[in-house]
Amino acid sequence: MKLEIEVTRQTGAVIAALKGSINAANAEEAAASLLPLAQAGGRLVLDASRLEFISSAGLRLLLRLQRAAADAGGRLVLAGLSPEVSEVMLVTGFLQHFVHAETLAEALAE
Amino acid sequence: MSMDERIDLHPTHKAAGYSIRAGQTLPFGATVLPGGAVNFSIFSRHATDGTLVLFRRGEPVAFAEIPFPREFRIGNVYAMIVFGLDREETEYGYRMDGPNAPEQGHRFNRAHVLLDPYAKSIGGRDVWRKPPDWSDPFQHRGRLVFDDFDWGDDHPLELPLEDLVIYELHVRSFTSHSSSGVRAPGTFAGLVEKIPYLKELGVNCVELMPVFEFDEFENSRVQPETGELLLNYWGYSTVGFFAPKAGYARTGAFGMEADEFKTLVREFHRNGIEVMLDVVFNHTAEGNERGPSISFRGIDNQTYYMLSPGGHYLNFSGCGNTVNCNNPVVRGMVLDCLRYWAADYHIDGFRFDLASILGRDPWGAPMSNPPLIEQLAFDPVLARCKLVAEAWDPGGLYQVGSFPAYGRWAEWNGKYRDAARKFLKGDLGLVGEMAQRVQGSPDLYASAGRGAAVSVNFITAHDGFTLRDLFSYDRKHNLANGENNNDGANDNESWNCGWEGETDDPGINALRRRMIKNALALLFVSRGTPMLLMGDELGRTQLGNNNTYCHDNPLNWVDWTLDDSQEEILRFARRCIAFRRAHPILRGRAHLRNADYVGSGLPDISWHGTQAWRADWSGVSRVLAFMLCGRHTDNGTPEDNTLYAAFNMHWEWLGFELPTPPAGSRWHVFANTAAPSPADCWPPGSEPLLADQRHIGLDGRSVLILIAKAP
């Protein structure tokens, strides 16, 4: 399965909408487009409402982004995680590392 | 290319469409290197050649086979770095060439694709009970793992052994029942959801029955009478020593079982509970001559297994084969394995199944100074892990009290179990032995310089009756196992209280309830390290089955719907554990001396009976009472209350004269198993004053525990 990333900019936030699936096959490519956004500092919202599956490598990418954002004095917020993705992140210990919001609107208000 | 980029991270060869180079011999196994290449390293002393075989996840046909070039072998280690592999979608195994000469101990066959003994993640059974595709030639498939879990500030808890209350549990059984109310029943994630229950119970160590990768379909069969599918359910048959059981993980199908299990450990630690693993190094899932070639037998049969001179498997485990664990290479594997679980999974301790086998030499003879057991005792990484031996094996070794301990090893005290069961049901001639058992068995351990905490005291464990069944059945009832009731132990030392099995008779049920409470009271006031079997605090029954190794059904599952009687037992168990944790005098590390060495005027322990200061040690006695002087706590622990415990295991009422409590204090009642609930036990601090400080009557088959404190 593929991953599409759509980046939009709002006042005070960059929003990257993730659609499809993140796995080892596309994680590096995703990192190439997402890491610069995280390294820019400021608020990066990952809209995961159309993210269907995230593998182990994908979760590690999210953590890398989170660390990069923090290093740059910025902030990463996850928005709209599906119940399944959220549960996988919870039981594998990843969810606790993230600020996450139910919806994009809440993430922007966060 | 930057100045610090390593030139050895570049390929030197091409094979099967992949870039490769000679690998690093150590560590064994598959290691993902910085930059994404993977180092594969495998040992075989007797192979003549080897081939790395690569598959896409779940596919029966390999996408690449890469023979090890000669220059990739150093000594007996074949090592290769492969570039450009998908770390999530790749599964790997090996073909090993060599002699197929069973009479010489060799069983090489290049038709078999073999699992890496060091595989850290294993596919093929990653969804519990999903029927395997038996036509797939590669059943247990090595996978690559990310070893970068973020532990935060977590570390093994290193609780003192004497302070532990161990709870033995089976991961699936604990939450598989629909009444468990967890989101992911039967998984590591489901177990995490039950931590609040365990915390409220008061235990501070869970001992998990096997969680290394095993095959639940090993010897699976349909029970002809019930139609039930019988499985290798408990998992005492290891496929891979370095991989958590993927089918136990909610996320096992995604290959995230390592992260899920590490999260489990972290959450237990966060709640003050240690995680101990029941590890099975004595045999593997490959069985005897007729068993499958999964891994070891095809990689180096003669190294990994104990063999007779004619090449037959020696069977000290009762399971077909015996791991040759005092071969130096195999010893190294066991050590690497335990270090990996201690360091990468933050495991707090290990209980070694049939540990006496670890002390046998390659021909099966017991050694006086077994190198593996010694090495584990002195290993720097394992230095603060608990090491607990099941100090016997089916080959006839019985080493309770004599297991080579090197100042480190604790033991499952099988003699505690046997004596306690007999004493509780009123057998004669047990009082003297029971006095040793409640003191941490100094008769077994003191002369070797071993303390009291090394005695892991238990009355029930996964092998044998549950506590409820111990007082509901005279005999085992194992027909559901499909072996004509021939399996399981016969020496249960159980008593059915007057009726074999479940009954509506309120008198019998009340007696059984009281017997369970007597057992819990005995266990939790005994010096040593207590272990409780999952569900015994809930009156869990296995309907008289004392060997439920094959049942993935309510015979093993904890049913969380409790009737009043079960609530009553749970409450009693919680309070006994709270009492133990409140009173350091019950948890001394050293042995009691039966003397006053602090000038309190009372010996650390004194013995009583129906008359104070006069124990009846005779062969016709069924009474034991003792007083623990609270000023004799171990060095460093604060002064405690003085405690008194009396056991009337006779069926008749008996009057007891009480010893005088220390000046300024009076006797208060913590527990009286003859009293109707809720007056049978009290939370710490609320124990009521005993009206008559001099005499008390104990009903037949009842236990009284008193605490001396200022009124």
From residue B195, alpha-carbon distances to B25, B200, B300 in Å are 41, 9, 42
Cβ separation B88–A87 shorter than 8 A: no
Residue A92: which of B87, B88, B256 has the nearest Cβ?
B256
Q: Over the stretch B276-333, which tens digit does the pLDDT of each residue have?
A: 999 999 999 999 999 999 999 999 999 999 999 999 999 999 999 999 999 999 999 9
Residue B5, pLDDT score: 65
* Confidence check: pLDDT of B626 > 80: yes
CA R_g for chain B:
27
Residue B1, pLDDT score: 45
Enumerate chain A positions whose Cβ falls within 8 A of a Cβ in B: 23-25, 55-57, 59-60, 63, 87-88, 90-94, 97
- In a 13 Å sphere around the CA of B694, the CA atoms on its Cβ side amount to 0
Report the Cα B567 to chain-centroid distance in Å: 26
Is the Cα dihedral B196, B339, B138, B82 positive or negative? positive
**Best to test chain B binding among A23, A56, A87 (most B CBs inside 10 Å):** A56
Answer for the pair B188, B249: CB distance below 8 angstroms, yes or no.
Answer: yes
Whole-angstrom distance, CA of residue B172 vs CA of residue B190: 9
Q: Helix H segments across chain A?
A: 24-39, 56-71, 83-91, 104-109
- In a 13 Å sphere around the CA of B216, the CA atoms on its Cβ side amount to 23
CA distance B151 to chain A (A): 9
Report the Cα B693 to chain-centroid distance in Å: 43
**B635 confidence band (pLDDT: 50, 70, 90):** low
Residues of B identified as active-site: 353, 390
Tokens of B419: 């004596």
Tokens of B385: 């892990």
Give the lowest-confidence range in B15-19, B30-34, B79-83, B631-635. Answer: B631-635
* Confidence check: pLDDT of B694 > 80: yes
For A7, the enclosing helix (H) or strand (E) is: strand A3-10
Is the Cα dihedral A18, A23, A24, A25 positive or negative? negative
Q: Over the stretch B326-385, which tens digit does the pLDDT of each residue have?
A: 999 999 999 999 999 999 999 999 999 999 999 999 999 999 999 999 999 999 999 999
Chain B residues touching A23 at Cβ < 8 A: 88-89
**Which residues fall within 8 angstroms of residue B646, CB to CB, at 6 or more apart?**
B608, B623, B624, B625, B656, B696, B698, B703, B704, B705
Tokens of B207: 């001992």
**Best to test chain A binding among B57, B263, B345 (most A CBs inside 10 Å):** B263
Torsion, Cα B366 B371 B373 B379, to 10 degrees, reads 180
For B20, the enclosing helix (H) or strand (E) is: strand B18-22
CA distance B259 to chain A (A): 5
Fold topology of A3-109: Transcription Regulator spoIIAA (3.30.750)
Closest Cα in chain B to A24: B88
DSSP B70-107: GGGEETTEEEEEE-S--TTTEEEEEEEE--EEGGGTEE
Question: For the range B109-115, what are the long-range contacts, defined as Cβ-Cβ under 8 Å and sequence gap of 24 or more?
Answer: B109/B293, B109/B298, B110/B51, B111/B137, B112/B137, B112/B293, B112/B298, B113/B53, B113/B62, B113/B137, B113/B138, B114/B293, B114/B294, B114/B295, B114/B298, B114/B299, B115/B140, B115/B141, B115/B142, B115/B239, B115/B240, B115/B294, B115/B295
Residue B638, pLDDT score: 76
Cβ separation A60–B87 shorter than 8 A: no
Nearest Cα to Cα of residue B352 among B398, B393, B293, B294: B393
Answer for the pair B82, B66: CB distance below 8 angstroms, yes or no.
Answer: yes
Q: Over the stretch B455-476, which tens digit does the pLDDT of each residue have?
A: 999 999 999 999 999 999 999 9
Tokens of B610: 């129906």
**Cβ of B229: how many Cβ atoms within 10 Å?**
18
Q: What order of strands is seen across the sheet that includes strand B90-97?
A: B64-67, B49-56, B90-97, B141-143, B121-123
Single-letter residue type at B270 = R
| 3-class DSSP state of B30 | strand
From residue B322, alpha-carbon distances to B181, B199, B364, B374, B544 in Å are 40, 38, 9, 20, 31
Nearest Cα to Cα of residue B516 among B460, B474, B476, B569: B569
Cβ separation B183–A87 shorter than 8 A: yes
Report ipTM for this prediction: 0.96
Whole-angstrom distance, CA of residue B503 vs CA of residue B507: 10
* Confidence check: pLDDT of A110 > 90: no
Residue A57: which of B87, B192, B250 has the nearest Cβ?
B87
CA distance B251 to chain A (A): 7
Mean of all residue pLDDT scores within chain B: 96
**What average pLDDT does this structure show over B249-273?**
97
**Cβ of B400: how many Cβ atoms within 10 Å?**
22
**What average pLDDT does this structure show over A27-56?**
96
**B34 confidence band (pLDDT: 50, 70, 90):** confident
CA distance B194 to chain A (A): 13
- Scored b (16 or more CB within 10 A) or e, A75-89 reads bbbbbbbeeebbbbb
**Best to test chain B binding among A91, A94, A97 (most B CBs inside 10 Å):** A91
**Cβ of B56: how many Cβ atoms within 10 Å?**
13
Nearest Cα to Cα of residue B407 among B348, B359, B449, B355: B449
Identify the CATH assignment for B595-709 out of 2.40.30.10, 3.10.20.30, 3.40.50.300, 2.60.40.1180.
2.60.40.1180
Answer for the pair B139, B291: CB distance below 8 angstroms, yes or no.
Answer: no
Residue B416, pLDDT score: 98
B263 touches chain A (CB under 8 A): yes
Residue B2, pLDDT score: 53
From residue B241, alpha-carbon distances to B238, B279, B303, B304, B353 in Å are 7, 9, 16, 13, 13
Closest Cα in chain A to B264: A91
Answer for the pair B682, B639: CB distance below 8 angstroms, yes or no.
Answer: no
CA distance B188 to chain A (A): 8
Residue B250: which of A60, A91, A93 has the nearest Cβ?
A91
Answer for the pair B454, B475: CB distance below 8 angstroms, yes or no.
Answer: no
Chain A residues touching B89 at Cβ < 8 A: 23-25
% of chain B at pLDDT higher than 70: 98
Tokens of B208: 């998990």
CA distance A1 to chain B (A): 13
**Which residues fall within 8 angstroms of residue B196, CB to CB, at 6 or more apart?**
none
Residue B35, pLDDT score: 80
Rounded to 10°, the helix B506-525/B564-582 angle is 20
Whole-angstrom distance, CA of residue B633 vs CA of residue B639: 6
Residue B148, pLDDT score: 87
| 3-class DSSP state of B197 | helix
Nearest Cα to Cα of residue A18 among A6, A31, A2: A6
Domain ranges of chain B: 13-143, 595-709
Q: Which CATH class is domain B13-143?
A: mainly beta
B154 touches chain A (CB under 8 A): no
Whole-angstrom distance, CA of residue A20 vs CA of residue A1: 7
Q: Over the stretch B386-424, which tens digit does the pLDDT of each residue have?
A: 999 999 999 999 999 999 999 999 999 999 999 999 999
Cβ separation B87–A91 shorter than 8 A: no
Q: What one-character DSSP code corresponds to residue B587?
A: G
Question: For the range B602-606, what are the long-range contacts, defined as Cβ-Cβ under 8 Å and sequence gap of 24 or more?
Answer: B602/B627, B602/B629, B602/B631, B602/B632, B602/B642, B602/B662, B603/B629, B603/B632, B604/B628, B604/B629, B604/B632, B605/B439, B605/B629, B605/B632, B606/B659
Q: Over the stretch B103-156, which tens digit does the pLDDT of each residue have?
A: 999 999 999 999 999 999 999 999 999 999 999 999 999 999 988 899 999 999
For B296, the enclosing helix (H) or strand (E) is: helix B296-304
Answer for the pair B527, B439: CB distance below 8 angstroms, yes or no.
Answer: yes
Cβ separation B150–A23 shorter than 8 A: no
Answer for the pair B366, B359: CB distance below 8 angstroms, yes or no.
Answer: yes
Residue A91: which of B86, B189, B255 has the nearest Cβ?
B189
Length in residues, chain B: 711
Whole-angstrom distance, CA of residue B574 vs CA of residue B203: 9
Residue B3, pLDDT score: 56
**Which residues fall within 8 angstroms of residue B485, CB to CB, at 6 or more apart?**
B476, B477, B478, B479
Chain A residues touching B87 at Cβ < 8 A: 24, 57
Answer for the pair B471, B546: CB distance below 8 angstroms, yes or no.
Answer: no
Q: Over the stretch B152-193, which tens digit does the pLDDT of each residue have?
A: 999 999 999 999 999 999 999 999 999 999 999 999 999 999
% of chain B at pLDDT higher than 90: 96
Residue B82, pLDDT score: 97
Answer for the pair B487, B464: CB distance below 8 angstroms, yes or no.
Answer: no
Whole-angstrom distance, CA of residue B252 vs CA of residue B667: 55
Residue B388, pLDDT score: 98
